[in-house]
Amino acid sequence: MTTYKDELDQARRALRPPEDAYEQLLKRRDRKRRNRRIAAGIVALLIFGGFLFAIATLSRRNEHRPASSACVPIPADLTHWWPADGNGADAIGGLAATLHGNATYGPGRVGRSFMLGGDGDFVSVPDDAQLDIGTADFTVALWVNFASTEGEQILAEKWVQRSFDPEIVDGWTLTKLPDDHIGFAIAEGLSADSEPLDIPLGTWIHFAARRRGEAIQILMNGEVIASRSTPNREALDVTSGSSLKFGHRGAPADTPGSISDQQNYLHGRIDDVRLMIGRALSNREIRAIVKAGTGTKRC
């Protein structure tokens, strides 16, 4: 006799799908789960690969980025700045420089530079009241890359050689002397000369000269290489009617009052000329310029 329980079991068996259909459902479920895991793994690999690619690209850019791309704060009291980036513009004081002879622009410490061939090529900034230093503190700083170190070569000067015997001069000059000393001279015969230097060709070197009170100093790549003070502890007047020149000693043809025929042209490149009238930059400030190259970015 069939019971209610038997009927219920029969109904359950009737509604249950065949064994093979049930197994197919389980396989489809497992397959979907496996596909989802595979898809998630592929997405994760793509994301991770993109991350590695971004890191590698940034690393390659940093390898080829010049040291001077670093940002250096420009002193608020910097008075003149000639970056030489394809023109003679003064980025601070508005006194543009002019190229003479076959002077042109070439590869710089960063960007471009003044390229001088050593024979008739130089750069000048016309005399202007803005360039008058008087007895104030001041700093001149620049990068130079020598193609030759033969003879005396002018880095930068605002100088009038009025007489040799006795020596009467106006202004100041920063010079590479014939025996590879670096000299910084100011009016009335005060000069500081470094020891003879090993100056490599084709290498960017940073030179700075400063006057603080009665003392003058020269720095090479941020390190002091020469110092001197006036005997009477007075700040000398370095006012000069000459144009400011990069790479050339003023002669009668281009410097009124000069009797010099030495010329003393620089053979190489000059970049990032800075002139600060009214303050002598500290060692730390000069080293920051050296560390960052030309620092043509402003912070």
Say yes or no to pLDDT of 277 above 80.
yes
Say yes or no to pLDDT of 189 above 80.
no
Mean pLDDT value of segment 228-233:
83
Q: What is the pLDDT of residues 19-72, one digit of tens each?
A: 555 566 556 766 777 777 776 667 666 676 665 565 554 444 444 444 444 555
Mean pLDDT value of segment 231-260:
92
- What is the pLDDT at residue 284? 94
Share above pLDDT 70 across residues of the chain, in percent, rounded to a whole number: 77
Task: Name every residue whose Cβ is closer than 8 Å to that of residue 8 and which is 6 or more positions away in sequence.
Answer: none
Radius of gyration of the chain (CA): 36
Q: How far apart are the first and last CA of the chain?
A: 100
Lowest mean pLDDT among 10-14, 66-70, 80-84, 224-228: 66-70
When the pLDDT of each residue in the chain is averaged and rounded to a whole number, the result is 85
202: left (phi over 0), alpha (psi -120 to 50) or beta: left
Residue with the larger pLDDT of the pair 221 and 50: 221
47: left (phi over 0), alpha (psi -120 to 50) or beta: alpha
Lowest mean pLDDT among 20-34, 73-87, 161-175: 20-34
Q: Are strands 153-164 and 204-212 parallel, antiparallel or unpaired?
A: unpaired
- Spatial separation of the C-alpha atoms in residues 67 and 61, rounded to whole Å: 12
Q: Are strands 112-117 and 104-107 parallel, antiparallel or unpaired?
A: antiparallel
- What is the pLDDT at residue 232? 77
Task: Name every residue whose Cβ is closer than 8 Å to that of residue 216 and which is 6 or more positions away in sequence.
Answer: 184, 186, 190, 191, 192, 209, 210, 227, 228, 229
Q: What is the pLDDT of residues 107-141, one digit of tens each?
A: 999 899 999 999 999 999 999 999 999 999 999 99
Say yes or no to pLDDT of 299 above 50.
no
Mean pLDDT value of segment 151-174:
94
Say yes or no to pLDDT of 98 above 50.
yes
Residue 19 parent element (H or E)? helix 19-64
Q: Which two tokens stand for residue 193?
A: 């000369």
